């Protein structure tokens, strides 16, 4: 299952894009139960594409909350438009998911 | 021979369309080329982070930036909601900074003209701090900040 959930909703002629991503977002300053530092593991780049064109790029640190939530507002938006959201983290892991506007 | 009126309008239009496509192309390629800069997100003082990002640029305090959903008192510093919106024109970037966090820059959003200036996120906040939002639009930097009291820190 993808780590990325995407939902869209029409709002006054625009389209709200909401995304929830499963990711630990460890900043490298937390300790585990044994007192050992947990290595940094956080998303660095999040991309939102509309029909394969970048519309938002977000760069982030480990100070974005665990399991990050974002929402954006697309101007207009038509049924059948394809939204693609992808992320890459500091360990080189990546994921992406697609959603079609209804 | 002068061109007919129709031909003139046709060529003027095609130039206008070309310019439009070309300029949006530049903006989109800006997004494609935008990359994660380690120095911006490294642990540092707030002042040094600002300097890394903007050197000595001046900020214009603006009422055209709205910080909604950001609470005055956050009971849980591990997830503080924020929605940034603005009526400023041609916004290209939004920066969210938490002054007292070990790494003050939380997120940088690069926006294309296809989206409204409105983004929401959830931040970790280590302690009570100002949250500073800086918007880059038409080569100028606009700023708005709000103090958030944190009851239980979120080890940001």
In a shared domain, residues B114 and B148? yes
Average pLDDT of chain B is 87
The label of the residue with tokens 């958030």 reads B148
- Token readout for B102 is 């070990």
What average pLDDT does range B119-132 have in this prediction?
Answer: 97
CB pairs under 8 A between A and B: 112
Residue of A nearest to B126 (CA): A63
Domain span including residue B22? 1-33
Domain A4-100 bears CATH identifier 2.60.40.10? yes
In a shared domain, residues B1 and B69? no
B73 contacts B149 by C-beta, under 8 angstroms: yes
Q: Which helix (H) or strand (E) holds B39?
A: helix B38-41
pLDDT of B7 above 70: no
In a shared domain, residues B15 and B53? no
Q: What is the DSSP string of A49-88?
A: EETTEEEEEEEE-TTBPSS-EEEEEESS--TT-EEEEEEE
In a shared domain, residues B20 and B41? no
What is the domain-level CATH number for residue B93? 2.60.40.2470
Interface check A57 vs B, CB under 8 A: yes
In a shared domain, residues B51 and B26? no
ipTM of the complex, rounded to two decimals: 0.96
In a shared domain, residues B15 and B90? no
Q: What CA–CA distance (Å, rounded) separates B133 from A5?
A: 27
In a shared domain, residues B53 and B91? yes
Q: What CA–CA distance (Å, rounded) separates B43 from B59?
A: 23
Give Cβ neighbours of residue A71 (< 8 Å, ≥ 6 apart): A16, A17, A18, A19, B83, B119, B120
Q: What is the pLDDT of residues B71-106, one digit of tens each?
A: 999 999 999 999 999 999 999 999 999 999 999 999
Residue contact A70–B37, C-beta within 8 A: no
Residue B32 or residue A25, greater confidence: A25
Q: CA dihedral defined by B111, B116, B122, B125, rounded to 10 degrees?
A: 70
Average pLDDT of chain A is 96
3-class secondary structure, B72: coil
Q: Which residues pair with B95 in a beta bridge?
A: B108, B134
State the total domains in chain B.
2
């Amino acid at each position: 299952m993808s780590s990325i959930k995407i939902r869209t909703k029409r709002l006054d002629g625009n389209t709200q894009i909401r995304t929830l991503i499963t990711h630990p977002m460890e900043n490298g300053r937390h300790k585990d139960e044994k007192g050992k530092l947990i290595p940094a593991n956080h998303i660095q780049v999040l991309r939102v594409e509309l029909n394969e064109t970048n519309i938002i790029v977000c760069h982030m640190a480990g100070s974005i909350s665990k399991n990050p939530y974002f929402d954006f507002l697309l101007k207009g938006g038509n049924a059948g438009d394809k939204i693609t959201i992808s992320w890459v983290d500091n360990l080189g892991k990546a994921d992406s998911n697609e959603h079609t506007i209804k | 021979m002068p061109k007919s009126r129709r031909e003139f309008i046709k060529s003027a239009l095609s130039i206008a369309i070309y310019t439009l496509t070309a300029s949006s192309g530049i903006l989109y390629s800006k997004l494609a080329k935008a990359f994660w800069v380690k120095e911006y997100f490294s642990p540092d003082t707030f002042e040094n982070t600002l300097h890394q990002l903007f050197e000595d640029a001046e900020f214009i305090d603006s009422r055209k930036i709205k910080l909604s959903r950001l609470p005055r008192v956050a009971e849980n510093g591990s997830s503080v909601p924020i929605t940034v919106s603005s009526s400023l024109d041609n916004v290209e970037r939004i920066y969210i900074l938490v002054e007292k966090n070990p790494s003050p820059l939380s997120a940088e959003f690069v926006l294309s003209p296809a989206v409204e200036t409105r983004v929401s996120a959830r931040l970790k906040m280590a302690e009570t701090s100002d949250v500073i939002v800086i918007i880059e639009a038409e080569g100028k930097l606009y700023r708005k900040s709000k103090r958030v009291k944190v009851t239980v820190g979120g080890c940001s």
